[in-house]
Amino acid sequence: MSSTKPETIVLHAGYRAEPTTGSVAVPLYQTTSYQFRDTQHAADLFALKELGNIYTRLMNPTNDVLEQRVAALDGGAAAVALASGQAASTFAVLNIAQAGDNIVSSTDLYGGTWNLFANTFKQMGIEVRFADPADPENFRRLADDKTRAFYAETLPNPKLQVFPIREVADIGDDLGIPLIVDNTAAPVICKPIDHGASIVMYSTTKFIAGHGTSVGGIVVDSGKFDWEKHAKRFPLLNEPDPSYHGAVWTEAVKPIGPVAYAIKLRCTLLRDVGAAASPFNSFQTIQGMETLPLRMERHCENALKVADFLASHPKVTKVIHPSKQDGEARRRADKYLKGGLGSLMGFELAGGKDAGEKFINSLELFYHVANIGDTRSLAIHPATTTHSQLSEEDRLSSGVTDGYVRLSIGIEHIDDILADLTQALDKA
């Protein structure tokens, strides 16, 4: 049966039973290669006349189930699993941009993505122009004929102000520019494709897997952007590709469906760069994904109670969470987040850096780690870790002060979460 309900999709999409043995659980296909039936079968696979397995760097049956489930969850046409969220961010852009091109990105980004855009892409000859999403028209102002994409995060850390997806997507529609959205922090509670995004990506390491055991990433192709209509802007999809016997991707995939973007990403970038998803990690991620909708409910429920608790604590000067925002920021949260406001939050301690360090060092239930989206509650003090090398100006512009602490609220019993926060705050 088909379903649009996330609780059903994460259990059934893309797989019913293994045809040879009848296995109901998705098998782990821990293999590098696949036997061709004959030379014609091999030729058809390489010529894209038939879809199938060639080599695990390109595709794998376990990875395929994960790809189908994430695509179904987001309402996409296809997805490509990758080795990490960073690989997903990188490939999402490189699939349509090359040296001399540019993209326009939100200023509100995960630090690893910011560095990728500001430094590594610059070395590759791709310019990233940063737009403040407080005014969506900033994206239009920075775009030109060489702009290949708009890029944003649904719920960016540390500001946690929801991105204006529809507003920027509409600007992109006017100009023929697709919007790429990193939805890592908001699976299930936000479906960016429904709001106009053309491409969605995730670090599956976080909420989708949930258990903190497996690194991975994924890129979802909505199948809704008309690459041919804007052929001049997207030569990588509309002109003969010398790396794949002159294939024109928008033409080559028409018998398959509107998935030129996804097929090109798999057949060129994944083939050449090799950031392949580990089948074992995909297997683990599928296990975690089965409970994703249930976990998101508890994550969001617990986080809301923690935000209220922190807002009333005398040592806390500010709580950064969508529930504590007002004006346009809260309107966007209510518009784009359904069924919860996420598990991430930040707060500032009156005692500054010293208080932040004491708080972190006093935690007993919370783990002091750099990850987010785990079933366990997690905490970090950016002033002593990710932001320690930044100038004071850059740190303040990022929204992180010396007393700032980031929390990723887990699914433990709320009483135990609050008890740990209470005792650590008492010592801060």
Name the residue ranges covered by the structural domains of the chain: 6-287, 292-427
Question: How far apart are the C-alpha atoms of 244 and 48, rounded to whole Å?
Answer: 10
Q: Is the dihedral of CA 187, 188, 193, 197 positive or negative?
A: negative
Q: How does pLDDT run across 53-100, given as a tens digit for each residue? A: 999 999 999 999 999 999 999 999 999 999 999 999 999 999 999 999
* Global pTM value: 0.95
219 beta partners? 80, 201
Class in CATH terms, 6-287? alpha beta
pLDDT recorded at residue 398: 57
Q: How many CA atoms lie within 13 A of 220 on its CB side?
A: 29
Is residue 325 exposed (0-12), middle (13-18) or buried (19+ Cβ within 10 Å)? buried
Residues of the chain predicted below pLDDT 50: 391
Q: Is 272 exposed, middle or buried (0-12, 13-18, 19+ CB in 10 A)?
A: exposed
Q: Assign 427 to helix, strand or coil.
A: helix
CATH code: domain 292-427 is 3.90.1150.10
Q: How far apart are CA 204 and CA 73, in angstroms?
A: 13
Asked whether this chain's domains 6-287 and 292-427 adopt the same fold, the reply is no
pLDDT tens digits, one per residue of 159-203: 899 999 999 999 999 999 999 999 999 999 999 999 999 999 999
